[in-house]
């Protein structure tokens, strides 16, 4: 499984439709400060179901919608589509290519789709959850996060590893059960 392409439309600084293709292997995004490199990573997290405005480096969810510039008015919606190569069947769905899409309107409404068919956020989260990508899987290491890991004490570092290994949720459940 690998990411094939992503299209952004009205997402953060990407006002016009912008498609980027990813070949198997490593992709580097380069550009000057403030040119939108981290916005590309935010788009990835967002289309995979991220629900936290802070994780997307904003104050509220609608901050992902293009807010306008001196020469261009704000837009009313943000849209991101991510196409994943599934020839190895890593995603539990009978398609060799899977496109997940997320649209958000300024009035707060949201739409999600898998291969063009409307679905719920939960469907996208479930599709991705056992594949090793998706939310809370530590597949996205944010700017400055590496520093935080290196500086963390042993307890904190253990929490990172336990979360990545999927142990943390069981530990939390155990603690909750013991408290009862
Ligand atoms: P650095 O190298 O400093 O990390 P970067 O390439 O990662 O920079 P980003 O953080 O991705 O840059 O992009 C920041 C730019 O995105 C800013 O110019 C900001 O104004 C713009 N931006 C963020 N959200 C929106 C939005 N909703 N509408 C329009 N522009 C936005
Ligand atoms: Mg950045």
Domain-wise residue ranges, the chain: 2-135, 144-180
| Closest CA to ligand 1's atom 11 | 36
d(CA 56, CA 43): 8
Please tell me the number of the ligand nearest to residue 44's CA: 1
* 89-120 residue pLDDT tens: 999 999 999 999 999 999 989 999 999 999 99
32, 74, 40, 79: which is closest to 57 by C-alpha?
A: 40
Token output for 178: 């013991």
Q: Judge whether 80 and 46 are in contact, CB under 8 Å.
A: yes
Residue 74 CB contacts under 8 Å (≥ 6 apart), including other chains: 65, 66, 67, 68
Residue range 122-146: mean pLDDT, rounded:
77
Residue 123 has pLDDT above 90, yes or no: yes
Q: Output the pLDDT for position 170.
A: 82
* CA-78 nearest atom, ligand 1: 27
| Closest CA to ligand 1's atom 4 | 33
d(CA 95, CA 67): 36
Q: Output the pLDDT for position 135.
A: 56
| Closest CA to ligand 1's atom 18 | 34
162 DSSP 8-state letter: H
Q: Output the pLDDT for position 141.
A: 81
| Closest CA to ligand 1's atom 23 | 12
Residue 6 has pLDDT above 60, yes or no: yes
Q: Judge whether 47 and 102 are in contact, CB under 8 Å.
A: yes
Confidence of residue 173 (pLDDT cuts 50, 70, 90): confident
Q: Output the pLDDT for position 28.
A: 94
Mention the CATH class of domain 2-135: alpha beta
> Is 176 part of any known ligand binding site?
no
> 17: CA distance to ligand 2 center in Å?
20
| Closest CA to ligand 1's atom 1 | 33
ipTM: 0.98
Give pTM, 2 decimals: 0.86
Q: Output the pLDDT for position 27.
A: 93
> Is 38 part of any known ligand binding site?
yes
Q: Output the average pLDDT for the chain.
A: 91
> Is 81 part of any known ligand binding site?
no
Confidence of residue 136 (pLDDT cuts 50, 70, 90): low
Which string of DSSP letters, residue by residue, matches 69-122?
BTTB---SEEEEEEEEE-TT--SSSS-SEEEEEEEEETTS-EEEEETTEEE-HH
**Which amino acids bring their CB within 6 angstroms of ligand 1?**
12-13, 31, 33-39, 63, 65-67, 143
Q: Judge whether 100 and 127 are in contact, CB under 8 Å.
A: yes
Confidence of residue 145 (pLDDT cuts 50, 70, 90): confident
> 117: CA distance to ligand 2 center in Å?
33
Residue range 114-142: mean pLDDT, rounded:
82
Q: Output the pLDDT for position 68.
A: 97
Of 39-48, 73-82, 131-140, give the lowest mean pLDDT range. 131-140
Phi-psi map region of 2: left, alpha, beta (phi>0 left; psi -120 to 50 alpha): beta
Identify the three-state secondary structure at position 4.
strand
* CA-36 nearest atom, ligand 1: 11
110 or 132, greater pLDDT: 110
Question: What percent of the chain lies above the pLDDT cut of 70?
Answer: 96
């Amino acid at each position: 499984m690998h990411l094939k392409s992503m299209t952004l439309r009205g997402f953060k600084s990407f006002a016009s439709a912008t498609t980027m293709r990813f070949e198997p292997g490593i992709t580097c995004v380069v550009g000057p400060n403030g040119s939108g490199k981290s916005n590309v990573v935010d788009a990835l997290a967002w289309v995979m179901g991220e629900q936290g405005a802070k994780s997307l480096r904003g104050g509220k969810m609608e901050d992902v919608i293009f807010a306008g510039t001196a020469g261009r008015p704000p837009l009313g919606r943000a849209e991101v589509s991510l196409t994943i190569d599934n020839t190895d069947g890593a995603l539990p769905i009978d398609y060799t290519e899977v496109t997940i899409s997320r649209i958000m309107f300024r009035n707060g409404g949201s739409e999600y789709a898998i291969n063009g068919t409307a679905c719920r956020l939960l469907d996208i989260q479930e599709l991705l959850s056992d594949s090793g990508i998706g939310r809370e899987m530590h597949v996205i290491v944010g700017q400055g996060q590496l520093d935080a890991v290196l500086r963390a004490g042993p307890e904190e570092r253990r929490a990172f590893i336990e979360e990545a290994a999927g142990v943390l949720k069981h530990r939390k459940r155990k603690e909750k059960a013991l408290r009862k």
